[in-house]
Copies of this chain bind each other. A is one copy, B any other.
């Protein structure tokens, strides 16, 4: 009589169910995974199919499809279709799909773009705005800013250097861990050290964090919150990006880190105000000498 009881279900399932399917993948049984594949391959078709047709497409029995739906915390097949429809409506049918052995250039290109976008979407939802604001605060007030990362995160630090360098702020970046250590030994309480690491378990970075804090610098980690590195930081900007794929290379996580750098840099310029932005333009104009002019300029 009072169907109002169903209200909440719609809301707490705000998570993209396609994303949920990929993340849940390990917990599925063999047949359930077949269902998942068929749905991911063509979600638009799935929402217009009955449980029978979908079962046939996945070459499993109908109850298997039903169990699949239940495992994703939906009430059953029709409820699952509603969630799926909502996910598809959301503009992003982007899903973190793994590249397969037999994929051709078209497939892997598509998959990588889509996984990257899906990861950014996840990152966007997980990032903590107040912390960003706090970090921007610190950066604008810093006497000196250092960016350190190793391995795949080195290029992220490198990129941060490039961005913040334009701001006319003393900014430091080293690849060499000894230089990193020495740099941190000279820190003061007005300095900010930003350490980048996806896993947060790189020993030398953890040590650097300790050294920097020992000298009263503020240490910001772009890393996982509960990691050894995260625990050593004053502030942690964590990005809950799904684990990277089969390819044994950091891909999506690093893109999310870079985007975060963009965000910090943007926050920085906004905080510094208009006059400061003119300065930025000047830096850009200076580069012109080293370039071929654009036609018509």
Contact with B along A154-195 (1 / 0, CB 8 A): 111011001100100000000000000000000000000000
* Residue A247 is within 8 A (CB to CB) of chain B in the complex: yes
- Interface-lining segment among A25-33, A214-222, A288-296: A288-296
CB neighbors of B among A188-212 (8 A): 199, 201-204, 206
Checking B87, B93, B154, B280 against A247 with a beta-carbon cut-off of 8 angstroms, the contacting residue is: B280
CB neighbors of B among A92-114 (8 A): 92-94, 99, 101, 103-106, 108-110, 112-114
Interface of A toward B, CB cutoff 8 Å: 3-4, 6-7, 9-10, 44-45, 47-49, 53, 78-79, 81-82, 85-94, 99, 101, 103-106, 108-110, 112-114, 116-117, 120-121, 123-124, 127, 129-130, 132-133, 136, 151-152, 154-156, 158-159, 162-163, 166, 199, 201-204, 206, 227-228, 246-249, 251, 254-255, 258-259, 262-263, 265-267, 269-270, 274, 277, 280-281, 283-284, 287, 290-294
Give chain B residues whose Cβ lies under 8 Å from the Cβ of A263: 108-109, 112-113
Give chain B residues whose Cβ lies under 8 Å from the Cβ of A162: 151-152, 154-155
Give chain B residues whose Cβ lies under 8 Å from the Cβ of A133: 104-105
Query: Least Cβ distance of A2 to chain B in Å?
Result: 9
Q: Do residues B112 and A266 form an inter-chain contact, with CB atoms below 8 A?
A: yes
Give chain B residues whose Cβ lies under 8 Å from the Cβ of A280: 247-249
CA distance A82 to B82 in the complex (A): 6
What are the 9 A-B residue pairs with the smallest beta carbon separation, nearest first?
A: A86-B89, A91-B93, A155-B159, A113-B124, A155-B158, A105-B133, A6-B48, A89-B89, A201-B292
CA distance A133 to B105 in the complex (A): 6
Q: Which residue of B lies closest to A258 (CB)?
A: B255
Q: Assuming A45-B6, A45-B7, is B85 touching A109 (CB within 8 A)?
A: no
Query: Least Cβ distance of A281 to chain B in Å?
Result: 5
Q: Which residue of B lies closest to A158 (CB)?
A: B155
Query: Least Cβ distance of A86 to chain B in Å?
Result: 3
Q: Do residues A284 and B105 form an inter-chain contact, with CB atoms below 8 A?
A: no
Give chain B residues whose Cβ lies under 8 Å from the Cβ of A106: 129
Q: Assuming A3-B45, A3-B53, is B290 touching A203 (CB within 8 A)?
A: yes
Given A85-B85, A105-B136, A112-B262, 8 more A-B residue pairs with CB atoms under 8 Å apart are: A10-B88, A89-B90, A109-B127, A151-B162, A154-B162, A155-B156, A203-B292, A249-B262
Q: Assuming A91-B89, A129-B106, is B281 touching A248 (CB within 8 A)?
A: yes
Checking B10, B87, B228, B247 against A47 with a beta-carbon cut-off of 8 angstroms, the contacting residue is: B10
Give chain B residues whose Cβ lies under 8 Å from the Cβ of A103: 270
CA distance A129 to B104 in the complex (A): 10
Q: Do residues B124 and A249 form an inter-chain contact, with CB atoms below 8 A?
A: no
What are 13 inter-chain pairs, A to B, with CB distance below 8 A?
A: A4-B45, A7-B45, A10-B47, A89-B89, A90-B91, A92-B117, A99-B270, A108-B267, A201-B293, A201-B294, A246-B277, A248-B280, A255-B258
